[in-house]
Amino acid sequence: MNLASYFPILSWGRTYNGQTFLNDGVAALIVTIMLIPQSLAYALLAGLPPEIGLYASILPLLVYAIFGTSRTLAVGPVAILSLMTAAAAGKIAATGTPQYVEAALVLALLSGAMLFALGLFRMGFLSNFLSHPVISGFITASGIIIAASQLKHIFGVSVSGHNLIEIIVGLFEQVSEINLPTLLIGVSSLLFLFWVRSSLKPVLKTIGLGEKTATIIARAGPVFAVIASILVVGILRLDQAGVRILRDVPTSLPSIGLPQFDADMWSELISSSALIALIGFVESVSVAKTLAAKRRQRIDPNQELIALGASSMSAGVSSGYPVTGGLARSAVNFDAGAETPAAGAFTAVGIALATLFLTPFLYFLPQAVLAATIIVAVLSLVDIKALRTVWAYSKSDFAAMAATILMTLGFGVELGILTGVGLSLLLHLYNTSRPHFAFVGQVPGTQHFRNIDRHTVVTSEEVLTLRVDESLYFANARFLEDTVDATLSTHPQMQHLILMCPAVNRIDASGLESLEAINSRLKEANVTLHMSEVKGPVMDRLQTTHFLEELTGKVYLHQYEAMEDLLPSLTRTTGRIHELGHADDGSPNFTI
């Protein structure tokens, strides 16, 4: 066993030097400054004490530095997992209770264990079962819910709810209770942070700062809002006017230990943990791949499962909650020049020092500022344009995307993502159960064969070629049988049928049975069955069966070779010319 494949630190650690240490250290300092208010904000979003956000940003970063394959991914609390944690833990206990906190720890431990196990069994491909439209729809809907849920802190009111309807109704009921100083702080913070995100970088570049420096300062905008708001609230004592502040945050490192085992709680949280694990892995891998591509590096999805699983489990045993790779902090880490995962380890040290020495200075930090930080961050995830794009390209994908959005907004994150996954799988099964088959003919003067309904080609009534454009498996095998039966009844002059298989990557047992049935029926009708352009791995599987011995015809390497053997006159374009097909509206269709 190659230890470096499971412990990537053994690979990059061999070439670590002073310059790399300096670059990682600078990146860690910048990310630490950004991560402090972000971790506090996401903990509040999850309904947890603020210090738990800091705790979730210490040990997980150290663990990822050992197991992770991405050089710049920054692990920690993220908005969507915080929302999912709140939804899952809210089923177990009321927010703020010890049982609620315990449920969050269990979620981290269970979701991490699931990811770790999947990584050991090399099952990173499971993330492919979440289609991009479903993920996009879920992130968009979650971003809207998260932003709406933070309006209570902007208004200074108490509202509960895990879906958009409950949140909006609660806000309207509390309109008369809005705290004016809180509203002023919240709105001012929102305006400032939106301005920082859109306009600060060009201003900084105008005064002579470089691209990288301007980008980093602009992304650290929340830190400026935090410092200013603490000074304003502390000097004016706005907490006495009803402004909700962070107050005392424990100045101690997290305690290490397993959460208490409660069989009922653990079993009730299994399904939620699975969803958290899946969403966290997909989000993290997409971020890691994007950043790795910019430096022509690569990540190993299976090892990322192990790394993220170990990180989340470490959060569960160190008073944290589920973590994954975050887009914003990873982008800052990348832009700041991080070269190895050691930057994450240095960030963990920075967060630990901040927990011990800086948290007393956060006493007067308004919750409205943390809420504004979350709102600005998550609204960048809302992608309404994607709805129009997906609608124009694929109505079935749009259906899954729209259903995910509506179910998430109306009934919560868990039911929303389950709906999206379920619809994606059903649509996949439906589409592949009715695969595209095409009768093909020879393009005159060439050795190419194309769809008779889309191109002007040469065909024959005696030798028909059916191109199979999908792997044959249990869901579509019967459809192929029905297609061949229909062909047999509508082409009385047919003597040979060739199944052209350039797109068939796999034939399962059901597909094999269908081929055997087709061969038998055609034999009874005095029609010979042939196959062409069968891929090597498929041919290897067929050679382990009796099918090739019972096949009435031959298996040809090329379709042109088959036609030369069966009907030489056709390949010299003396056969029947099949005219170019047209689309339903009468316009020519040139698609292959």
pLDDT tens across 137-177, in order? 888 898 899 899 999 999 999 887 778 888 999 999 998 99
Q: Which of 12, 2, 366, 42 is nearest to 179 (CA)?
A: 366
Token digits of residue 587 = 């316009």
Nearest to 488 by CA among 526, 514, 452: 526
Q: pLDDT at residue 125 above 80? A: no
CA distance 311 to 68: 9
Q: What is the pLDDT of residue 588?
A: 33
Q: What is the pLDDT of residue 498?
A: 96
Long-range contacts of 144-149 (CB under 8 A, 24+ apart): 144/382, 144/409, 145/83, 145/408, 145/409, 145/413, 146/45, 146/79, 146/80, 146/83, 146/374, 146/375, 146/378, 147/374, 147/375, 147/378, 147/379, 147/382, 149/45, 149/83
| Helix or strand (DSSP H, E) at 429 | helix 413-433
Three-state DSSP at 464 gives strand
- 551 band by pLDDT with thresholds 50, 70 and 90: very high
pLDDT digits (tens, 9 = 90+) for 461-501: 899 999 999 999 998 899 999 999 999 999 999 999 999 99
If phi over 0 gives left and psi between -120 and 50 gives alpha, with beta otherwise, what is residue 54?
alpha
The CA distance from 203 to 214, in Å, is 9
Q: Check: CB of residue 76 under 8 Å from CB of residue 323.
A: yes
pLDDT digits (tens, 9 = 90+) for 422-439: 888 888 778 778 888 899
pLDDT band at 587 (very low <50, low <70, confident <90, very high): very low
CB 338 within 8 A of CB 72: yes
> Does position 591 have pLDDT exceeding 80, yes or no?
no
Q: What is the pTM of this model?
A: 0.78
Domains in the chain: ranges and CATH: 1-126+255-364 (no CATH), 178-243 (no CATH), 437-578 (3.30.750.24)
Top-ranked range on mean pLDDT: pick from 122-126, 264-268, 569-573: 264-268
Dump pLDDT digits (tens) for 367-384.
Answer: 999 999 989 888 887 888
